[in-house]
Amino acid sequence: MSTSTATAVVYEGPRVLTMKEIPLPTIGPQDTLLEVVLCGVDGSELHMYNGNYDWLNDKAPVTFGDEIIGRVVDIGVAAKERHGLVIGDLVTVEARWPCAAGCENCDRGQYFLCMHNTTFRGYGTISLAEPPHLWGGYATHVFVPEGALLYKVPQELPLRTALFACSVLANGLRWSEVNGAGPGKTTVVIGPGPQGLACTIAATRMGSTVVVVGLEHDGERLALAKTLGAAHTYAIPEGEEPVETARKIRALVGRVDGVIEGAGYTPARDLAFEVISPLGIVTLVAAPTPPVQEINWRNVREVTINSPLSHPHTIARSFDFAVQLLEEGMDVGSLVTHEYSLEDAEKAIAVASYKTDEHPIKVVLNPAL
Ligand SMILES: [Zn+2]
């Protein structure tokens, strides 16, 4: 790679990735250019790669990647002032940002629901055709326009720790909060993937008794959940019906105040509504596959259902939380288990999809490899 071009992994359509050289943009007063240090491979990208989202396919070619840790390599005068950053600073940039047009949802602080952004425009989902073309973390560089949200990484955080904290742990914090985690509460986390483990860390530290539920092949991840604070884990035997799993979990803990459903497939959703106690909260966070199911509404009595989207206003707190955990001897960076080069993006996606013999927790891309 020459210093005047970036290299980006480009999604052309279902299961087709190519590498492209893109000229580095001229940076205006309000803009920032980051060199990507690490980029997470996340659950929605597995769906995106397989072509499961028509709205995304319509935008292709696209560079994925919205969990970004980068170094400032160019910054305009106004951006410097606005963000309090200088060249060399290590930062993360949030996937989406508030519009400048003044909409009801952005005014409420919910920029993930921006009314002027109905097409999920943000890092990892912006068409490559849109200048200056550097809109995803699966690349050596990303462009940061005026209005985007940058957060400096605390110097105490190692790179992998910062990567895990910039999005996955931030989601864990927010989702545990909207799920009502707290002292005296029992929180059931379904799905021991990176997000489920982050919810386990957050809900445990908020005071909940946490039960993590997975499948028989999740043995390692369930064992890890215990070291992260889970009071109990449960591996669902093959063929066991959700109603039976729910009975066993309730026998273990009694009342279930909250369920965070992070697995996204139909039996997991069924289990969420089977196991939740009356007056409880079900938090649905995974992209559902398949997208439609029947809920047994007889079980849903005085239950609150919420569906948080990512983590507005949570990144700074998540960085502080990661620093605090480090001081307590827990490095969430240890959950980053696999690092791949941009050339190996396809392999990284396969590994993160559990389609290889590897047993990953969090998979990331490192453009310097
Ligand atoms: Zn808006």
Residue at token pair 């409880």: 280
Q: How far apart are the first and last CA of the chain?
A: 12
Rounded to the nearest whole angstrom, what is the distance from the C-alpha of residue 113 to the centroid of ligand 1? 7
For residue 246, pLDDT over 50 is answered with yes
Q: Please indicate, yes or no, whether residues 298 and 346 belong to a single structural domain of this protein.
A: no
Count how many domains the chain has.
2
Give the pLDDT band of residue 354 (cuts 50, 70, 90). Answer: confident
CA 110–ligand 1 middle distance (angstroms): 8
8 A C-beta contact, residue 200 and residue 212: yes
In a domain, 320, yes or no: no
Q: Give start and end residues of each alpha helix (H) in 58-131.
A: 77-83, 104-107
Q: Comparing 136-140, 187-191, 288-292, which segment has the lowest mean pLDDT?
A: 288-292
Q: How far is the CA of 350 from the centre of ligand 1 (A)?
A: 35
Interval 102-116: pLDDT, tens: 899 999 989 989 999
Query: Could you tell me if 189 and 196 are in contact, meaning their C-beta atoms sit under 8 angstroms apart?
Result: yes
Same domain, 11 and 150: yes
DSSP tag of 314: -
Q: How far is ligand 1, taken at its centre, from the CA of residue 147, in Å?
A: 11
pLDDT digits (tens, 9 = 90+) for 196-221: 999 999 999 999 999 999 999 999 99
Q: What is the DSSP letter of 263?
A: S
Find the 119 Cα to ligand 1 centroid distance in Å.
Answer: 12
Do 108 and 236 fall into the same domain?
no
> 134 and 198: one domain?
no
Strand 281-284 relative to strand 304-306, pairing: parallel
Verify that 135 and 217 share a domain, yes or no.
no
User: Are residue 298 and residue 345 in the same domain, yes or no?
Assistant: no
Going from the Cα of 99 to the center of ligand 1, the distance in angstroms, rounded, reads: 4
Q: Is 313 inside any structural domain?
A: no
Distance 103 CA to ligand 1 centre (A): 4
Distance 310 CA to ligand 1 centre (A): 16
Q: Would 312 be classed as within a structural domain?
A: no
Helices 170-178, 194-206: crossing angle, 10 deg rounding: 60
Residues 139 and 193 in one domain: no
Examine the pLDDT at 363 and tell me if it is beyond 70: yes
The pLDDT tens digits for 287-304 are: 666 555 667 777 788 999
Please, what is the angle between helix 219-227 and helix 194-206, to 10°? Answer: 30
In this prediction, residue 1 has a pLDDT band, given cuts at 50, 70 and 90, of: very low
Residues 6+ away with beta carbon under 8 Å from 249 = 188, 211, 213, 234, 256, 275
CA 111–ligand 1 middle distance (angstroms): 6
Whether 143 maps to a domain, the answer reads yes
In a domain, residue 94? The reply is yes
Ligand 1 centroid distance, CA of 313 (Å): 15
Q: Are residues 180 and 240 in the same domain?
A: yes
Same domain, 11 and 152: yes
Does residue 165 lie within any of the structural domains? no
* Claim to verify: residue 175 and residue 153 sit in the same structural domain: no
**Which CATH number characterizes residue 89's domain?**
3.90.180.10
pLDDT in tens, 15-42: 999 999 999 999 999 999 999 999 999 8
Is 177 inside a domain boundary?
A: yes
Distance 112 CA to ligand 1 centre (A): 8
Let me know if residue 239 belongs to a domain.
Answer: yes
Q: How far is the CA of 97 from the centre of ligand 1 (A)?
A: 8
Residue 244 tokens read as: 């039976």
Same domain, 252 and 127: no
Distance 109 CA to ligand 1 centre (A): 9
Question: Average pLDDT, whole number, for the chain?
Answer: 94
Distance CA 365, CA 369 (A): 9
Domain final residue pick, 255, 273, 306? 306
Residue 289: strand, helix, or coil: strand
Q: Report the CATH number that the domain containing residue 270 is assigned in CATH.
A: 3.40.50.720
> How many Å lie between the centroid of ligand 1 and the Cα of residue 100?
7
146 and 207, same domain (yes or no): no
Cα gap 141→143, rounded to integer Å: 7
How far, in Å, CA of 341 to CA of 282, rounded?
Answer: 38
Q: Give residue 286's pLDDT.
A: 75
Q: What percent of the chain has pLDDT over 90?
A: 85
Quote the domain boundaries for residue 254: 170-306
